[in-house]
């Protein structure tokens, strides 16, 4: 770990040394700073690729923070979404044969040598079985540490071919589609970018606020979009990282968002405090919404996101780094995965140029209202109380 700290310290020194004494208002300063960003991002990516596993996941997350980080970092790291370091096919064949107990040519008539994607713990290849099924085979990298098998084992997706799967091999239905941030693919196939952004928001609002069971790795390499005779579809891949939220946390998070949308400052303070943000509840609200405090107090559903606000958020992210770290150490562990998921979803919105609007806040509010009503129904002592909760819920939904 000391080596990683040394590398991080080297990046900090490089920034201070390179930019010392330069006038930040000049074009030359901007040019040098951009070169410095790129140089540092390449070093960070190299470190992630060298160490693999969780480091690749960190790199993937950085590549999704388009709304928060300099473009040099985002563009450099986003290749890790589906082009992480690859394992040779010969090594993957050994994993297949060891786990499935057969030679590869006994299992498949063909395997595409070029991977569909290479991720932190595994890579995926298109293959065809002897009975004609076209499948996607996800094979764990041979050098992945033993504890990482959980990422593979906990996957639950439709149409898994269990007879061709093991702890290190997952054979699934092959799904066509383009990456969710690939606007060119959507334009080419007649897919509405706004429709995808809306439906993705609905999907995650339902998971987070109502179901409490959340796919927490929605980086663009894990979310496909396609269109067929039945309409537009969103396909979630890689179901190895899910969060099961406690009811208490989920309801508090719902009420926090209702307060944020209403610009209810007392409510924001109350429910942020319930999540241990305490005296840093204002900064916590900014982290949850990725909006400035000025926008929050004015109403985030009424204030459009501007370039000036984006710049302010980026500057504050650096200025309040210690306070942000304090919040991350205070809040429940569930909140960390929610913040990660929110960041990635915002990165997708930013790439598609469909940042949160009034429509998305309406859908989110509906889910929050339903979730709070369901929680109240569980605590009702009579049918009369239940009727009152249901009527209030319908009235609040009607007003929206």
Query: What Å distances lie between residue 270 and 182, 273, 338, CA to CA?
Result: 40, 5, 19
β-pairing, 169-173 with 134-140? antiparallel
Residue among 82, 151, 181, 217 flagged as catalytic: 217
Residues 324 and 284: their CA atoms lie apart, in Å, by: 8
Tokens of 339: 């913040």
Cβ neighbours around 3 below 10 Å, total: 9
**Cβ count near 334 (within 10 Å):** 19
Told to judge if 264 belongs to the known catalytic residues of this protein, a careful annotator would answer no
Residues 6+ apart with CB under 8 A from 9: none
φ, ψ dihedrals at 126, nearest 5°: -80, 135
Report the alpha-carbon angle 222-124-188, nearest 5: 55
The rounded distance, in Å, linking the Cα atoms of 24 and 44 is 24
If you write DSSP's letter for every residue of 225-267 in order, what string do you get?
EEEETTEEEEEE--TT-EEE--HHHHHHHHHHHHHHHHT-HHH
Annotated catalytic residues are 217
């Amino acid at each position: 770990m000391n080596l990683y700290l040394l590398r991080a310290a080297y990046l900090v020194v490089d920034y201070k040394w390179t930019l010392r004494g330069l006038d930040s208002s000049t074009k030359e300063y901007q040019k040098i700073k951009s070169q410095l960003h790129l140089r540092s991002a390449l070093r960070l990516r190299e470190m992630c690729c060298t160490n693999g596993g969780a480091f690749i996941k960190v790199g993937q997350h950085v590549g999704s923070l388009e709304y928060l980080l300099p473009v040099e970092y985002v563009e450099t790291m986003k290749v890790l979404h589906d082009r992480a370091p690859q394992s040779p096919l010969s090594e993957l064949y050994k994993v297949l044969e060891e786990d499935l107990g057969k030679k590869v040519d006994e299992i498949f008539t063909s395997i595409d040598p070029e991977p569909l994607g290479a991720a932190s713990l595994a890579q995926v290849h298109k293959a065809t079985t002897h009975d004609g099924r076209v499948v996607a085979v996800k094979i764990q990298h041979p050098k992945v540490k033993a504890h990482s098998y959980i990422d593979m084992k906990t996957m639950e997706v439709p149409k898994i071919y269990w007879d061709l799967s093991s702890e290190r091999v997952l054979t699934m239905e092959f799904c066509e589609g383009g990456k969710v941030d690939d606007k060119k693919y959507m334009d080419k196939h007649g897919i509405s970018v706004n429709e995808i952004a809306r439906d993705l928001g609905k999907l995650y609002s339902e998971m987070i606020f109502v179901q409490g069971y959340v796919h927490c790795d929605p980086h663009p390499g894990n979310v496909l979009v396609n269109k067929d005779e039945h309409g537009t579809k969103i396909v979630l891949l890689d179901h190895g990282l899910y969060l099961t939220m406690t009811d208490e946390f989920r309801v508090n998070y719902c009420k926090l968002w209702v307060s944020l949308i209403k610009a209810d400052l007392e409510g924001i303070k109350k429910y942020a405090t319930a999540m241990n943000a305490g005296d840093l509840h204002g900064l916590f609200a900014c982290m949850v919404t990725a909006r400035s405090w000025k926008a929050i107090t004015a109403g985030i559903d009424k204030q459009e996101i501007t370039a000036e606000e984006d710049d302010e958020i980026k500057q504050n992210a650096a200025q309040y780094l210690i306070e942000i770290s304090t919040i991350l150490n205070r809040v429940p562990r569930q909140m960390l995965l929610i913040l990660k998921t929110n960041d990635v979803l915002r990165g997708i919105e930013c790439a598609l140029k469909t940042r949160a609007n009034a429509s998305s806040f309406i859908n989110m509010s509906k889910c929050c209202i339903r979730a709070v009503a369901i929680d109240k129904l569980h605590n009702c002592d009579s049918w009369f109380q239940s009727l009152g909760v249901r009527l209030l819920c319908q009235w609040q939904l009607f007003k929206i």
